Amino acid sequence: MEGRTVMATNDLMIEAIDLRRTFKNREAVAGVSFSVRRGEIFGLLGPNGAGKTTTIRMLTGQIVPTAGRATVAGCDVVKDHQRLKERIGVVPEDQNLYERLSARNNLNFSCWLYNLPESRAEEVLELVHLRERAKEPVRTFSNGMKQRLMIARALLHRPPMLFLDEPSRGLDPISAREVRGAIEELSREGVTILLTTHLLEEADQLCQRVAFITQGRIVANDTPRNLKLAHGQRTMVASLNGQAANGNGSGSFTEITLRMDNPDDQARLAQLMAEGKVQSVHSQEATLEEVFIEIAGVRPA
């Protein structure tokens, strides 16, 4: 029994227990408990000011929790602070690169800090497809390139745990897709990732599990699919031919939305199909955003 418990604990990259942080009289994080398994992409989702960044700052040792405890990659975030720094990579919310330095020099600087050979900088530049631009000052880069460079910097010392705070913030759709691609690639390589975002579609696409945080508290924690099944309404969209829908014989068609779990809607669909008025039917799952609104009572952003 004890052996099984130890194995399970070793499998956890993050274990936060009743983590709290108070700033003056305001409780930014009010007792957060969750765990992240090795190799998992875990999403901490919530609106601005919900406590996501404060939670990340506590987990990365930047600020000390007022109460509670947490271990990250086997290190206590308060007691093993220095060892923790060697085992995590952090991509913060704000872009904080040295803009006058080249991409290569930005990474070389991190190599010097972590006592790594400069050849490692070349490897990660290749990984984020920035080798061609390595000599150029970072100030000439697009937002997407800067974000990729920050991810490269966080990966330089091969940390088993990566924290990404709003990785797609301020990016155009193409850059955001590039960054998502990089995250998926890292996950495939076994890196555990905790990301915060208010883009629930992104979280749905990337995360194996998500936690909804609002007003400093986690209000839900599960896989996106389970959350949608538990809290969302499954619907069907039926396309009806125009005559059937509005009786004017114009040849156009109309869409109606029916709740799959509602007996009246089920009966209505059956009737429409029997009458031959349905052109097509497709099911529609609840979005994570709808689930969030349902659970938290607020929009995520």
Partner 1 sequence: MHPRSVLAIARKDAIDMLLNKSTLTLLIMPIVLAFLFLFVSKLVGGHVTNIVVYNPGQSRLVQVVSGTFDPMKVTEVNSPADVMAAFGPNGSKKDSAYDVGLVIPANFESTLQTGGHPQVGFYINENNVDPHLAQLLQAAIISYARQLASPQPPLALSTVTINPPAISNFGQVTGNTYGAIVLLISFMTGTSLMPGLLIEEKEKKTLRMLMVTPASFTDVVLGKLLVTLVYQLVLSLLALAIMGSFIGQVPLLLLYTLLGSCFSLALGLLFGGIFSTASTAGMVGGFLSLIYVVPALFIGPLGALFGNSAFGQAMKFVPTYYIADGAYNAIQNEGSLNGHLFDIGVVLGCTLALLAITSWVLRRQASVAAAI
- Residue 137 sits in the site that holds partner 1 (CB under 8 A): yes
> 103-114 vs 119-127: helix axis angle to the nearest 10?
130
Instruction: Report, in Å, the least distance between residue 153 CB and partner 1.
Output: 8
- CA–CA gap between residue 166 and residue 194 (Å, rounded): 10
For partner 1 (CB under 8 A), the number of binding residues is 29
Facing residues of 238 across strands?
256, 281
Residue 85 as a binder of partner 1 (CB under 8 A): the answer is yes
- Shortest CB 102 distance to partner 1, Å: 9
Burial class (CB in 10 A: 0-12, 13-18, 19+), 263: exposed
Which amino acid type is present at position 159? P
Of 15, 27, 114, 277, the one binding partner 1 (CB under 8 A) is 114
- CA–CA dist 203, 185 (Å, integer): 15
Which range, of 11-19, 112-120, 221-229, 237-245, touches partner 1 by CB under 8 A?
A: 112-120
Among 43, 46, 47, 61, interactor with partner 1 by CB under 8 A: 61
275 binds partner 1 (CB under 8 A): no
Among 8, 67, 113, 273, binds partner 1 (CB under 8 A): 113
Question: By CB under 8 A, is residue 64 in contact with partner 1?
Answer: yes
Q: Which of 49, 55, 48, 47 is nearest to 29 (CA)?
A: 55
* Residues contacting residue 36 through CB under 8 Å, at least 6 positions apart: 12, 13, 14, 42, 192, 194, 209
Among the residue ranges 44-52, 60-68, 184-192, 240-248, the one whose residues contact partner 1 (CB under 8 A): 60-68
Identify residues 23-42 at the interface with partner 1 (CB under 8 A).
Answer: 23-24
What does the block give as tokens for 107?
């990474």
Is 126 a binder of partner 1 (CB under 8 A)?
Answer: no
From the list 79-87, 208-216, 234-242, 263-271, the region that binds partner 1 by CB under 8 A is 79-87
Is 117 a binding residue for partner 1 by CB under 8 A? The answer is no
- Rounded-to-integer distance, Cα 176 and Cα 78, Å: 34
Site for partner 1 in 145-184 (CB under 8 A): 153
Instruction: Order across the sheet with 192-197: list the strands.
Output: 88-91, 161-165, 192-197, 41-45, 209-214, 217-222
Nearer to partner 1, 94 or 264 (CB): 94
What's the per-residue H, E or C state across 280-294? EEEEECCCHHHHHHH
State the residues that interact with partner 1 by CB under 8 A: 23-24, 60-64, 82, 85-86, 88, 90, 92, 94, 96-101, 105, 109-110, 112-115, 137, 153
